[in-house]
Amino acid sequence: MCSIMGWCGSRFDEELFMKGFAATVTRGPDNSQTVNLGEGLLGFHRLAIMGLHPEGMQPFIMGSSYAVCNGELYGFEKTKAELVKKGYTFRSGSDCEIILPLYKEYGTDMFAKLDAEFACIIYDGENKEFIAARDPIGIRPLYYGYASSGDIVFASEPKNLVDICDKIMPFPPGHYYKDGEFVCYEDISATDGYCYDDLETVCRNIREKLIKGVSKRLVSDAKVGFLLSGGLDSSLVCAIAARCSEKPIRTFAIGMNTDAIDLKYAREVAEYIGSDHTEVIISEDDVLGAFENVIKYLGTYDITTIRASIGMYLVCKAIHEQTDIRVLLTGEISDELFGYKYTDFAPSAEEFQKESRKRIHELHMYDVLRADRCISVNSLEARVPFGDLDFVRYVMAIDPEKKMNIYNKGKYLLRHAFEGSWLPQDILMREKAAFSDAVGHSMVDDLKAYAEKYYTDEEFLQRKALYSDPAPFTKESLLYREIFEKFYPGQSAMVTDYWMPNKEWEGCNVNDPSARVLSNYGASGI
């Protein structure tokens, strides 16, 4: 991960900018640089992943233009070779150095051409204007707001902007900003038409595209590791990576010291694929000692995101402190594509697809945000193979009738695609368990019990009335909201709503986001 920031306008406050920029130095602890353009300011904190030499430091400069980019541009070598043929020269091995030549060649059309997870800010020196853009899923973070001067300010995280902007908002994924407007260059959840291939063809394509998505994310000049929960998604990423690697991959799992569900399954997967496996064991004290900082790092009050982030943050903290790994591959985004436990209740294929589109649109505020912050605050980089653009486009176009749970097994297409020797059969067919539950049911129970003791019933009723859009509805949600407001006062609009099952569906009108409260949870908790 890296951190970028740009004050786009000549009425900047450099001291205020530097104070805000310093808030995310953990995203890029290797080197930092800011540049005063006269027309504005650009800043970059570097975590060196591709092109480890000093020449890869940003901002990149071409003539009078500058660019900062937090991203991974896959297959950049081919693009770079084509640009060399056109007369461009390069100083480094960094993938992001191609940004300015691409902009020179294609303008804003370049963004739709990228196979990348990225957020970037460009200063076009010829036209004296700023352009910013974000990848179609929003895997790389970017926020914006307006300073008191009226200038727009962009930054990797909201904490960069809290003292500069009255209102902070996430930069919309799949958009670029130019001439004062946000323009959509791709809605990745949309499809021109459905793919009606037979089941075996669909599953073969899923398998081949996911393998490509994993393999391209193994390319790194820094060391790579893997988060392994023992669930289907992270286990598949690890299994594919193990086959693509010449030596054993390094995997990491986390669980409570009392009732961890995931650890035994992660251990089984690690033994099967031959990985160098590490277990991180945590206690109630670890959980209660971490959650306030986790909320600060995340910039959210969402219950599901915070619960799931505690385990991820603590395992990443251990990786940062105990290893020299810099890149982590994770299993996020599979559920949004193939379904959750609650989408078993979808009343029709049309409703299933509609829900999937909604979740893809909102990913940047929930699971993707969680992965980014928990990993980046520990000076690591997240890569998300299920977020591969080609893979997402394909799965979103599969006939939703096939993605419905008509097989008596959720996410059947993904499971069937990897039947064979990829994973043990019990792992491949293991029921979905939410990460926050699988770390140990006691973790969520400990958090809820803490919140119950923190407020009396009367205090809860009085204090929850202070908040709306959305309003807290449990003591746990009130606790998280009050901590959020301490660090991000008045910025609740950064998150659309609480992540919850679709309450309009029969069986889903529940008052807790955990799948544990659904009638079909069953073997997920075993």
Which helix (H) or strand (E) segment holds residue 162: the answer is none
Q: Is 2 assigned a catalytic role?
A: yes
Is residue 443 within 8 Å of 307, Cβ to Cβ?
Answer: yes
**What is the residue type of 56?**
G
Catalytic residue among 2, 69, 165, 508: 2
Going across the sheet that includes 175-178, the strands are 60-62, 65-73, 116-124, 129-134, 175-178, 181-184
Q: What is the dihedral of CA 402, 405, 409, 411, to 10 degrees?
A: 60
Reduced to 3 states (helix: H, G, I; strand: E, B; else coil), residue 178 is strand
Which is nearest to 235 in space by CA: 57, 425, 87, 406?
425
Q: Rg of the chain over CA atoms, in angstroms? A: 22
- Residue 333 assigned as binding residue: no
Q: Under a CB-based contact definition with an 8 Å cutoff, are residues 321 and 373 in contact?
A: no
- Separation in Å, CA 379 to CA 72, 139, 142, 323, 350: 16, 16, 17, 12, 41
Q: Other C-beta atoms within 10 Å of 324: how many?
A: 9
Nearest to 121 by CA among 34, 188, 192: 34
Gap between the Cα atoms of 27 and 1, Å rounded: 6
CA distances from 170 to 27, 113, 120, 372, 496 (A): 18, 23, 14, 14, 10
| Alpha-carbon torsion angle 437, 442, 447, 452, nearest 10 | 120
Instruction: Say if residue 227 carries a ligand binding annotation.
Output: yes
Alpha-carbon span 43 to 64, nearest angstrom: 16
Q: What is the DSSP string of 404-448?
A: SS-SSSTTHHHHHHTTTTSS-HHHHTPPP--HHHHT-HHHHHHHH
- Tell whether 254 is in a known binding site: yes
Distances (CA, A) of 229 to 166, 249, 315, 378, 438: 39, 15, 11, 19, 8
Catalytic residue annotation? 2
Per the annotation, binding residues for L-glutamine are 95
Per the annotation, binding residues for ATP are 227, 254
